[in-house]
């Protein structure tokens, strides 16, 4: 990114933190933050910390105990808190108790309105039902994918000839990783911890060096904080026997990977 | 000890929450609800609505503990930002801002009149830190502080502030910049001169 563009983005930090960017600009700025621009990330972090001092101007006060009780019971029930559930229901006078002679004249209209209401309710119910079924289908697909992944993990771990190598952090000593594979099968399991979240337009690349020549074993991205803590991925790669490999390393390259390692090395075998 | 230095422990709590540990959320709640609740009251203008807001904030934190990005600020600043954004969403969604009834006083005054209780040493540390920050910010020139309050608590735009403060837009912008600069200094060294 050019210096002047970066500077332009820097000016957006204050309105962003104050919530004054329109949705389009906010999305654009968040995409910019996701690229890992160190200047803007630092600026936003400092502004967030500074603005977080404002509530300290108010005198500290615990809320009523019922807030915590309701919160914890909702979490235990495993469902979201819906504000309308917390308010006592307002007792509306029943239409049946207000019947007056003039009401009879409105009977046809009332019946018509009721019919429309019933049709609308049915339409909403059907729409809701379709949405629920769609959601359940999505969930079912997610579970099937997860089940398949677990099966693949298990198949690798159950191999008789399982090879394992450990990798240490290079840029960050807290980072570490492992590669597990069965030489007879063209798949490997990569585990990594404390790799930074992958910047946009970048991907990590796993390499094996044989005879002084680097061979790419695949690319991957650490998408979020959870994956940063513990990343697990099965890669299709023919690693071969452990003794044939001189080293394994993980570098950060452009999206799609590189022909040979060019970016910074994050993990390397001990 | 400062809030920033306690951040590591807060991150540990978030990790426990990701594993479904409700006790971790309870600890985070005990630590920050004395700040989040008055903020919710101040911004919503209603004790009832503040209760709903506080719950929404901590449910949000519970559900998105795994999405917290440490590089972009402390856990505390994240929680406070979630509260502010949710409160502003509600305020903006209303056709007319709710205002305190005459003679009732502001909701924040009501909060200040209620008793204050701190259970643990952690909360005492937090209270001391807050007092140091408050003292620093109170020494800030009044117009700068007022502009920051209007922008932060009311969600006012700079144009709104020009009308409320009867100042030119350029003056508002310049005072706001200075105010933010003083806040940043205060964030680095609470208790020092803002």
B111 and B133 part of one domain: no
pLDDT of A110 strictly over 80: no
Interface test with A, best of B47, B63, B69 (most A CBs within 10 A): B69
Q: How far is A222 from chain B (nearest CA, A)?
A: 12
Residues 6+ apart with CB under 8 A from A1: A35, A37
CB < 8 Å to A226, chain B: 18, 66
Task: Say which residues have a Cβ less than 8 Å from residue B82's Cβ, sequence separation at least 6.
Answer: B57, B60, B61
Q: Are residues B30 and B56 in the same domain?
A: yes
pLDDT (tens digit per residue) in A120-131: 667 776 766 766
Whole-number average pLDDT of chain A:
76
Alpha helices in A62-106 (DSSP H): 65-77, 83-86, 101-105
Mean pLDDT, to the nearest integer, of A226-247?
82
- Tokens read off for A119: 């049709």
B124 in the same domain as B185 = yes
- Among B117, B152, B179, which residue terminates a domain? B117
What is the band of A92 on the pLDDT scale with cuts at 50, 70, 90? Answer: very low
Helices and strands, number each (H, E), in chain B: 9, 0
pLDDT score of A107? 52
Domain boundary among B83, B117, B151: B117
pLDDT at B126: 59
Q: Residue B111: which of A51, A59, A225 has the nearest Cβ?
A: A59
Are A48 and B81 inside 8 Å of each other by CB? yes
CATH number of the domain where residue B134 is located = 1.10.10.10
Give yes or no: residues B166 and B93 share one domain: no
Report chain B's mean pLDDT, rounded to a whole number.
Answer: 78
Picking from B22, B69, B70, the nearest residue to A75 by CB comes out as B22
Mean pLDDT of A196-224: 89
Residues B135 and B149 in one domain: yes
- pLDDT for B116 beyond 50: no
pLDDT tens digits along B50-109: 999 999 999 999 999 888 888 778 899 899 999 998 988 888 777 455 554 444 444 433
- The C-alpha atoms of residue B183 and residue B11 are separated, in whole angstroms, by 24
Beta bridge partners of residue A169, listed in sequence order: A267
Same domain? For B111 and B144 the reply is no
Q: What are φ and ψ of residue A189, in 5° steps?
A: -110, 125
User: Between these two residues, A1 and A141, which has the higher pLDDT value?
Assistant: A141
**Burial state string for A199-208 with b = 16 or more CB within 10 A and e = fewer than 16:** eeebbbbbbb
Q: What does the pLDDT read at residue B189?
A: 64
Task: Give the best residue of A71, A85, A196 to mutate against chain B (max B CB count within 10 A).
Answer: A71
Contacts of B135 (CB under 8 A, 6+ apart): B191
* Total-model pTM: 0.50
Q: Give chain B positions within 8 Å (CB) of A47.
A: 180, 184
User: Whose CA is closest to A51, among B180, B157, B142?
Assistant: B180
The pLDDT of residue A184:
78
Quick: pLDDT tens for A241-252: 777 878 899 999
3-state class of A265 per DSSP?
Answer: strand
pLDDT (average), residues A97-101: 33
- For residue B29, pLDDT beyond 90: yes
DSSP class per residue in B1-47: --TTTTHHHHHHHHHHHHTT-HHHHHHHHHHHHHHHHHHHHHHHS-H
* Backbone torsion region of residue B54, taken as left when φ is above 0, otherwise alpha when ψ lies between -120 and 50, otherwise beta: alpha
Comparing CB atoms, the residue among A44, A50, A68 nearest residue B183 is A50
| Residue at a domain's end among B117, B149, B172 | B117
B8 and B93 assigned to the same domain = yes
* A108-A113-A118-A122 Cα dihedral, nearest 10 degrees: 140
Instruction: Give the list of residues 6+ apart from residue A167 with CB closer than 8 angstroms, or none.
Output: A176, A177, A178, A179, A192, A248, A249, A250, A267, A268, A269, A270
Chain B CB contacts of A48 under 8 Å are 72-74, 77-78, 81
Residue B137, min C-alpha distance to chain A (Å): 8
Q: How far is B165 from chain A (nearest CA, A)?
A: 19
Residue B136 and residue B92 in one domain: no
Percent of chain A clearing pLDDT 70 (strictly above): 75
Q: pLDDT higher for A205 or A120?
A: A205
Asked if the model's pLDDT at residue A29 lies above 90, the reply is no
Structurally, how many domains does chain B consist of?
A: 2
Q: Of the given ranges (A9-13, B13-17, B189-193), which has the lowest mean pLDDT? A: B189-193
- Cα(A55)–Cα(A61) distance, rounded to whole angstroms? 11
Do the Cβ atoms of A61 and B38 come within 8 Å? Answer: yes
B91 and B13 belong to one structural domain: yes
Q: Are B169 and B159 in contact (CB under 8 A)?
A: yes
Position B38 pLDDT exceeds 90 = yes
Please tell me which of the candidates B78, B117, B148 has its beta carbon nearest to residue A62. B117
Closest Cα in chain B to A17: B81
Cβ pair A55:B77 closer than 8 A:
no
CA distance A267 to A171: 8
**Cα A264 from Cα B15, distance rounded (Å):** 28
- Does residue B44 sit in the same domain as residue B89? yes
Total Cβ atoms within 10 A of residue B32: 26
pLDDT, tens digit (0-9, with 9 covering 90-100), for A46-91? 888 888 888 888 888 888 999 999 999 888 876 443 333 333 332 2
Q: Cα–Cα distance between B130 and A212 in angstroms, integer?
A: 59
How close B187 comes to chain A (CA, Å)? 5
Reported as type and span, the H/E element at residue A227 is: helix A225-229
List Cβ neighbours of A87 (8 Å cut-off, separation of 6 or more): B48
Residues B69 and B162 reside in one and the same domain: no
Contact A68, B29 (CB under 8 A): yes
Nearest CA in chain A to B177: A14
A206-219 average pLDDT score: 89
Give the CATH number for residue B68: 1.10.1740.10
Residues of the domain holding B123: 118-194
Cα separation, A258 vs A268, in Å, equals: 17
pLDDT at site B129? 67
Q: Sort out which chain A residues have CB atoms less than 8 A from B106's CB and list them.
A: none
Contact A199, A35 (CB under 8 A): yes
pLDDT of residue A244: 80
Average pLDDT (B125-135) is 68
Choose between A195 and A4: higher pLDDT: A195
Residue A34's H or E segment, with its range, is helix A23-34
Among A18, A41, A49, select the one facing B74 at the smallest CB separation.
Answer: A49
Structure tokens given for A199: 């910047």
| Cα gap B41→A60, rounded to integer Å | 11
Do B74 and B61 fall into the same domain? yes
C-alpha to C-alpha distance for B135 and B192, rounded to whole angstroms: 9
ipTM, 2 dp = 0.73
């Amino acid at each position: 990114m050019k210096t002047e563009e970066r500077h332009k983005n820097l000016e957006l930090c204050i309105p962003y933190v104050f919530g004054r960017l329109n949705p389009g600009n906010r999305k654009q700025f968040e995409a910019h933050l996701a690229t890992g621009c160190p200047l803007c990330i630092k600026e936003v972090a400092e502004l967030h910390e500074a603005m977080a001092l404002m509530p300290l101007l108010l005198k500290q006060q615990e809320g009523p105990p019922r807030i915590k009780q309701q919160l914890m019971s909702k979490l235990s029930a495993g469902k979201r808190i819906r504000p309308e559930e917390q308010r006592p229901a307002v007792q509306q006078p029943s239409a049946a108790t207000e019947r007056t002679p003039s009401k009879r004249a409105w009977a046809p209209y009332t019946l018509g309105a009721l019919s429309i209401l019933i049709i609308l309710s049915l339409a909403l119910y059907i729409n809701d039902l379709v949405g629920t079924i769609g959601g359940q289908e999505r969930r079912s697909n997610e579970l099937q994918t997860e089940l398949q992944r677990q099966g693949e993990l298990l198949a690798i771990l159950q191999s008789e000839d399982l090879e394992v190598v450990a990798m240490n952090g290079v840029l960050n000593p807290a980072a570490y990783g492992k590669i597990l594979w069965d030489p007879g099968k063209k798949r490997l399991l990569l585990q990594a911890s404390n790799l930074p979240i992958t910047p946009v337009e970048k991907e990590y690349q796993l390499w094996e060096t044989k005879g002084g020549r680097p061979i790419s074993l695949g690319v991957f991205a650490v998408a979020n904080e959870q994956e940063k803590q513990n990343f697990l991925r099965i890669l299709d790669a023919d690693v071969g026997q452990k003794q044939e490999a001189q080293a394994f390393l993980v570098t950060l390259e452009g999206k799609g990977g590189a022909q040979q390692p060019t970016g910074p090395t994050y993990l390397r075998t001990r | 000890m400062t809030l920033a230095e306690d951040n590591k422990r807060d991150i540990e709590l978030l990790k426990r929450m990701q594993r479904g540990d409700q006790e971790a959320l309870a600890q985070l709640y005990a630590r920050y609800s004395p700040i989040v609740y008055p903020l919710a009251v101040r911004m919503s203008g209603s004790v009832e609505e503040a209760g709903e807001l506080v719950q929404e904030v901590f449910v949000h934190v519970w559900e998105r503990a795994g999405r917290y990005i440490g590089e972009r600020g402390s856990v505390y600043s994240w929680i406070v930002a979630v509260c502010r954004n949710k409160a502003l969403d509600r305020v903006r969604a209303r056709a007319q801002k709710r205002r305190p009834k005459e003679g009732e006083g502001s909701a924040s005054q009501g909060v200040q009149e209620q008793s204050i209780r701190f259970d643990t040493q952690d909360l005492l540390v937090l209270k001391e830190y807050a007092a140091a920050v408050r003292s620093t910010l109170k020494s800030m020139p009044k117009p700068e502080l007022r502009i920051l309050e209007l922008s932060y608590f009311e969600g006012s735009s700079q144009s709104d502030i020009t009308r409320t403060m009867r100042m030119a837009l350029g003056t508002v912008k310049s005072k706001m910049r200075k105010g933010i600069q003083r806040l940043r200094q205060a964030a680095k060294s609470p208790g020092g001169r803002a």
